[in-house]
Amino acid sequence: MTDVAERLPDGAANLIQTDYTVGQDNIQPKIGPFGLDVHNPVFAISGLTIVAFVVLTLALQESVGPLFSGLRAWLTGNLDWFFLLAGNVFLLLCLFLIVSPLGRVRLGGREAAPDFSYVSWFSMLFAAGMGIGLMFYGVSEPLSHFSASVAEGAAAPESWAPLDGAAGDTATARDLAMAATIFHWALHPWAIYAVVGLAMALFAYNKGLPLTVRSIFYPIFDEKVWGWPGHVIDILAVFATLFGLATSLGFGAEQANAGLNYLFGMPVNDTSRVFLIVAITAIALISVVAGLEAGVKRLSEINMVLAALLLLFVVLVGPTLLILTGFFHNLLAYVEYLPGLSNPFGRADDNFRQGWTAFYWAWWISWSPFVGMFIARISRGRTVREFLTCVLLIPSVVSVFWMTAFGSTAIDQLVGGYQVAAEGVLELQLFLMLQELPLAAITSFIGIVLVIVFFVTSSDSGSLVIDTITAGGKVDAPVSQRVFWAVFEGLVAIALLLGGGLTALQAMSVSTGLPFTIVLLGGCYAIVQGLRSEPR
């Protein structure tokens, strides 16, 4: 055994000897027949199951729709408390580690230096994490909560249940709408991502294990993690990632179709959405072939510039004073209502808790292997405290400002008598809000470009992560395998859209997020054990 292999636990060393070429200073993946390099049980089971799912869903389009709808309703209706409770655990762990002495541990060892500058790091992290969601829900979610609060009465912070006589109180309804929106897009979801990213980075860079989800559980399963317990964990991670991505890609196709219809008259139907998914997946394939540096990094930086320009435009030509003051006011409202919003056993409104929060938490959790592994790949050299502070707090602040700018502008238009945005379908509301501002055609086109490029970076990054998992944690597997997964991400999104629309996408996101929630709760214990064994 060489120096590299000697630093690994025995089980990992055996896996490395089987699947890698071990050198004095590095580990290179072995290339198998036909130029492929796969961790056979995980790749074969995941790939065949997903192929079968796509075929059956497309063949039984008429009958699977009600099945998906019932599945989503049952999961969010009966297990909403579990998702909320798990989300709280992830956030509390992150906050504890930030202030704990364990936060001094450096990912990659004491001498490790960061691979990327802060600008590049933030750009890739943010674009991969929530880009499509912010574009889709930046206007529609604040409007939805505001309209419901005005119509039904503003809610008490301890229960989120309607207060008698509060109907029509626009000031309170505005606070509630923005607090609820921030709750879904700030600390809790980024805590989910941070837990997975920290765990993967710690066990890959500090313990010398392969960069895959199973490595997190070495403190729990010991050498058995390289057998079927580890295979099951990685397979669950593949399913969660693929269906979480398919949900986002479906949202992106819906919104791009709506925007192209608004600007150019493109028909809004399944044919158009399938065409968009195929076309954008083809663009993603080009990015996949180009690689992380030339593909994802460059596209992420371009998209961040476009997103910043669109955000600045809305701030300057929209209700500027309301947005700037609203940012701090909304943060205070978020803190005020957070205990009631995050209480898994409170008397919260069922539609809000089940229809919004439970779905969101399952969606974020299903995305967590993808985003977590991706940010682990780009975060070597950061301390645990630096990693958690940046991953948890900075994107949350940006999300709050984005939601405040777009949401406050839309609510202000609604209060001023502009009803079109509120009455439009969710995927069109961004463009209807921009219609009331100057240069609507240009900004709407930029919005479509943003959705498409976020679509591309998500698909590209997702295929990279799934390929890493199915190849046993190897980060330099052949490009042909990433092409395979990028193609099937698009096919799954098409199958679900044709089989049941957004409801089907949401159902599969929730159903795959549920078992992976249990996996992540076990990962919290492993993180603490791993950090405690590190020199500080």
State the Cα–Cα distance between residues 373 and 379, nearest whole angstrom. Answer: 10
Query: Would you tell me how many other CB atoms lie within 10 Å of the CB of residue 30?
Result: 10
Residue 73 has pLDDT above 90, yes or no: no
Residue 234 clears pLDDT 60, i.e. is over it: yes
Distances from the Cα of 384 to the Cαs of 14, 96, 130, 534, in angstroms?
Answer: 29, 11, 22, 11
Average pLDDT rounded to a whole number, residues 126-147 = 78
The answer on 464 and 483 residing in a single domain is yes
Residue whose C-alpha is closest to residue 516's, from 237, 248, 138, 275 = 237
Residues 141, 25: one domain?
no
Instruction: Write out pLDDT tens, residues 151-209.
Output: 655 444 444 443 333 445 678 888 889 999 999 999 999 999 999 999 999 998 998 88
Name the pLDDT band for 129 (thresholds 50, 70, 90).
low
- Does residue 258 sit in the same domain as residue 319? yes
**61 and 16: one domain?**
no
- pLDDT, residue 451, reads 83
* Same domain, residue pair 24 and 53: no
Structure confidence at residue 54 (pLDDT): 81
Residue 320, C-beta contacts closer than 8 angstroms, at least 6 positions apart: none
Q: What is the pLDDT of residues 428-455, one digit of tens each?
A: 888 989 999 999 999 999 988 888 887 7
3-state SS, residue 186: coil
- CATH for 161: 1.20.1740
Q: Are residues 25 and 136 in the same domain?
A: no
CB within 8 A of 401, min separation 6: which ones? 311, 327
Give me the residue label for tokens 């809790």: 188
pLDDT digits (tens, 9 = 90+) for 247-272: 878 888 888 888 888 888 889 888 99
Core vs surface per residue 368-377: b (16+ CB within 10 A) or e: bbbbbbbbbb
pLDDT recorded at residue 524: 94
pLDDT band at 21 (very low <50, low <70, confident <90, very high): low
Q: Say yes or no: 16 and 99 in one domain.
A: no
Does 67 have pLDDT greater than 60? Answer: yes
Distance CA 436, CA 137 (A): 18
Average pLDDT, the chain: 81
Residue 62 has pLDDT above 60, yes or no: yes
Judgement on whether residues 328 and 416 belong to the same structural domain of the protein? yes
Using pLDDT thresholds of 50, 70 and 90, give the confidence band for residue 38. Answer: low
> What distance lies between CA 259 and its chain's CA centroid?
23
Residues 343, 210 share a domain: yes
Q: Is the pLDDT of residue 288 over 90?
A: no
Domain range for 5 is 1-30
d(CA 406, CA 212): 37
386 shares a domain with 361? yes
Cα(347)–Cα(155) distance, rounded to whole angstroms?
Answer: 11
- The per-residue pLDDT for range 509-524, each reduced to its tens digit, is 888 888 999 999 999 9
pLDDT band of residue 25 (cuts 50, 70, 90) is: very low
Number of domains in the chain: 2
Q: What angle do CA 34, 36, 40 make, to 5 degrees?
A: 120
Q: Are residues 363 and 235 in the same domain?
A: yes
Better pLDDT: 1 or 278 = 278
Average pLDDT for 203-220: 89
Crossing angle between the packed helical segments 270-291 and 228-264, to the nearest 10 degrees: 120
Among residues 181, 177, 125, the alpha carbon closest in space to that of 389 is found at: 125
- pLDDT, residue 166, reads 42
Same domain, 383 and 422: yes
Segment 446-468 shows an average pLDDT of: 82
